[in-house]
């Protein structure tokens, strides 16, 4: 998916998975619900509750999944000074 905008939101239903590529550097956040995030070739699994977010960097693809119910993924450009994962 190619999204060319300053900020985007994507609604995910429970269990729905979205693969994001080329989304870095960016700030990824949960605007609602709980999101599970994994980065290709990274052993960590990250869970974002509503209002939490993270800066991402690098060239690996991301998988984002809604846990427990619908969730809203917010994606926007990373701010200068944000530490990227």
DSSP string, 12-51: E-TT-EEEE-S--SEEEEEEEEEEEEEETT---EEEE-TT
Q: pLDDT 10s digit of each residue in the chain, 85 long?
A: 555 556 788 999 999 999 988 666 788 999 999 999 998 888 888 999 999 999 888 777 889 999 989 999 998 887 644 444 4
> How much is the pTM?
0.79
Structural domain boundaries of the chain? 8-77
**Fold adopted by 8-77:** Jelly Rolls (2.60.120)
- DSSP secondary-structure letter at 81? T
């Amino acid at each position: 998916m190619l999204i060319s905008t300053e900020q985007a939101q994507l609604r995910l239903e429970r269990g729905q998975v979205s693969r994001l590529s080329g989304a870095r550097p960016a700030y990824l956040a949960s605007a609602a619900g709980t999101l599970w995030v994994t980065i290709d070739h990274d052993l960590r699994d990250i869970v974002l509750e509503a209002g939490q977010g993270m800066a991402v960097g690098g060239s690996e693809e991301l998988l984002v999944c809604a846990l427990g119910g619908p969730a809203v993924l917010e994606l926007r450009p990373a701010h200068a000074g944000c530490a990227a994962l």
